[in-house]
Copies of this chain bind each other. A is one copy, B any other.
Amino acid sequence: MTQYSGPDELGPAKTAIMQATYTALSKHGYEKLTIQDIAEEFERSRSLLYYHYDGRDDLLVDFLEYVLHEFLEQLPDGEGSAQKQLETLVETLLPTTLDEGVYQVQLAMFELRVNGPHNEAAREQYLQVDREIKERLKKIFARGIESGEFTHIDPDIEAELFLSILTGTRTRRLTVYKPEESIAELREAINTQIERIKTDSN
């Protein structure tokens, strides 16, 4: 697994591989996905793909890193209220409804997470995902305390708790809700939590 800090380092070929992976996952899901399915979505030389990756799970670990990077990139950082930042993060990770294709990709990534105990590279990568999202949450909470939006909370413990809430909501959404089903009541519970840590003056 290569470490990279952004799409620039990734190079255009690798970006194209990641986009092909996204398309292949949204069509085939995780269970039956083969590296050939990804190759079929990849318009450039297939040998390039086989040159870069030993197998499907190897590629998917890189894909996870790519998705994490894209996710963090698209979040607002340092502008707007802390509450708004938190709400954007929730909406981005857990939209109330999902298109079938997006659902398939989310489910596939979740299945890769569950593969963690059997695949050290996947486990390490998910540990990294959790760590980075927790750091982002911690920053938001610290900022909200400083600005007086949030009551006196411990940013570290609050980030830990909020990450469990996000992870649990995602687990429930993907395992017992149907793809097209709304998770409005789960989102309402998250909103209640956000309201709870706000100061009265807000």
Contact = CB atoms under 8 A, between A and B. Distances in A.
A190 B117 CA distance: 24
Nearest to A193: B161
Copies of this protein in the complex: 2
Interface in A169-202: 169-172, 174-176, 179, 185-186, 188-190, 192-193, 196
Contact of A168 (B116, B157, B167, B175): B167
State the main secondary structure of chain A at its contact with B. Answer: helix
A165 interface: yes
A117 B31 CA distance: 11
Interface in A151-172: 154, 157-158, 160-161, 163-172
Interface stretch (A6-14, A37-45, A62-70, A107-115): A107-115
A169 to B, nearest CB: 5
A193 B164 CA distance: 12
A192 B153 CA distance: 10
B130 A188 contact: no
